[in-house]
Amino acid sequence: MGNLIEHYKEVYEENPIRRSDELSYIKMKDTYESFYRKIKFGSIIVFAILVLLHIYLNKENILLFELPIFNSFLDMFTYKIIGYLIVACFYVVVTFLLHLIAYKSIIKIYITTKGNQNNKINNREFLRLKLVGVVSNFKRLFFFCWRVFNWVVSPDYEFAKHYKNRFKELYYKNKECQCDKRKIYTNTIDDIELCIQCYDTVRFMNKFFIKFSNWLNLVTTSILGSITLILTMFYPNNFLISFLFALIIYRIISRSFEIIIAFYQDVVHVNARIFIKGFGGKKYLHAWKNSFIRKPMRISLAVHSLLEILILFTIVYFLIFNLFGSELLISDSIDYSIENQQIVENPVIENYITQNKIYEFLLYAISVTFFNVSYVNYGYWLWTLLHVWQVFLSIVLIILSIAAYLGFSDEVYERERNFYNKVLHELKKE
């Protein structure tokens, strides 16, 4: 361990964080971060006001949009497939714009216009690059199917990974890194070789991208929740309610996979980099982090994700109860035949939801979030599945992430202390 620390010190002490990174950091904090913070708090406040309004108006026993009656199984199948495709396409567009906004905010500050502009990757090339990648790997059928599966199941995770990779590619192809490799330590383990100081810039970009994406995800979820409450209060028979229900279910699936993978990799997976200067010896940097996110922010990101999950499940429980409430009150006998289904006098769900008010669903979601691990058959498979799903996500965020982060060391090297001393002092002056 001593040698590893010495390697870090040797690489870092000879290469302080550049002044350009200090100025970019200050500009990001003053402009985009303050703006997104206001948007985040504003969306949460609006959602909270709508929850109180929903309680005040005493909205209960809402008759929501009913699905049409189909003449054949084929008609029903076609209707649902088309509906699911529309929902999926709409959601992919939403999550694409969400990550694109975060990405554009960062490159406007950190990427200059010097270098060969023809080498820059623009957004219109995104689809072409993906198609080229698919074609080149088409012979590997398993890989192809796996990539398609990932994009279908969790477009959130795939877009986040794509844009984080683009920072390094764009920085390299725009020839931002023009360091003398004979005089400064350069990474040798990646396909793209960047010096330690240019890596600093990429790590700062990753930091802001992760933070902004996390906040914008919470904003998006709050907006979805607000729209749902408005529709159920004033337009209860609108078909958009069913559309929102399908959209929120898809968002739960996509965000769940992104949260589980991202936090698991951050806590469990250990990265490393090897840096070399000129013809000198290699320096192995263990437990390398791809961003400058420190311990307090990691905990904050997990708490934001926990709040987002809480809002999502509150809304989805509320919609399930109103869309499929009759099925929650049905008990099946052993043979599960239609003839043997009967209405239960005291269904399980009535132990938790008695008046069909939004605050009951919010309190229920909070109780599940904080380790209501008991398994109960609520009478409807989707509600039972979501209950278990929420418990699992809560365990990932609270035990695997927050608890692990609390045990992390938050020590920084001298170069980072000097950096934060300068930028925080300048931010306070402003």
Cβ atoms within 10 Å of 322's Cβ, excluding its own: 20
What is the residue whose two structure tokens read 């010096």? 195
pLDDT at 333: 37
Residue at 137: amino acid letter: N
pLDDT at 157: 92
Do residues 361 and 317 lie in contact, with contact meaning Cβ atoms separated by under 8 Å?
Answer: yes
Which has the closest alpha carbon to 197: 5, 12, 8, 414? 12
pLDDT at 258: 93
Q: pLDDT tens per residue, the chain (430 residues)?
A: 456 667 677 777 777 888 888 899 999 999 999 999 999 999 999 999 999 998 888 655 454 455 555 555 555 556 677 778 888 899 999 999 999 999 999 999 988 644 444 444 455 555 555 555 555 554 555 566 667 777 888 999 999 998 988 887 777 766 556 666 666 667 666 666 777 888 888 889 999 999 999 999 999 999 999 999 998 888 877 778 888 999 999 999 999 999 999 888 888 877 777 777 766 667 777 777 888 888 889 899 999 999 999 999 999 999 888 887 656 654 443 333 334 444 445 566 766 777 778 888 998 899 888 866 666 676 778 888 898 899 889 888 888 787 778 777 777 778 888 888 888 878 876 6
Cα separation of 241 and 91, whole Å? 15
What are the domain boundaries of the chain? 2-429
Q: What is the pTM of this model?
A: 0.84
Which has the closest alpha carbon to 221: 315, 102, 86? 315
pLDDT at 200: 86
Which has the closest alpha carbon to 393: 225, 245, 255? 255
pLDDT at 211: 95
* 191-206 exposure pattern, b = at least 16 Cβ within 10 A, e = fewer: eebbbbbbbbbbbbbb
pLDDT at 413: 79
pLDDT at 118: 43
Alpha helices in 177-239 (DSSP H): 196-234
Do residues 195 and 203 lie in contact, with contact meaning Cβ atoms separated by under 8 Å?
Answer: no
| Region label for 417, one of left (φ > 0), alpha (ψ between -120 and 50) or beta (otherwise) | alpha
Cα separation of 52 and 249, whole Å? 24
Cα separation of 344 and 354, whole Å? 15
Cα separation of 157 and 280, whole Å? 39
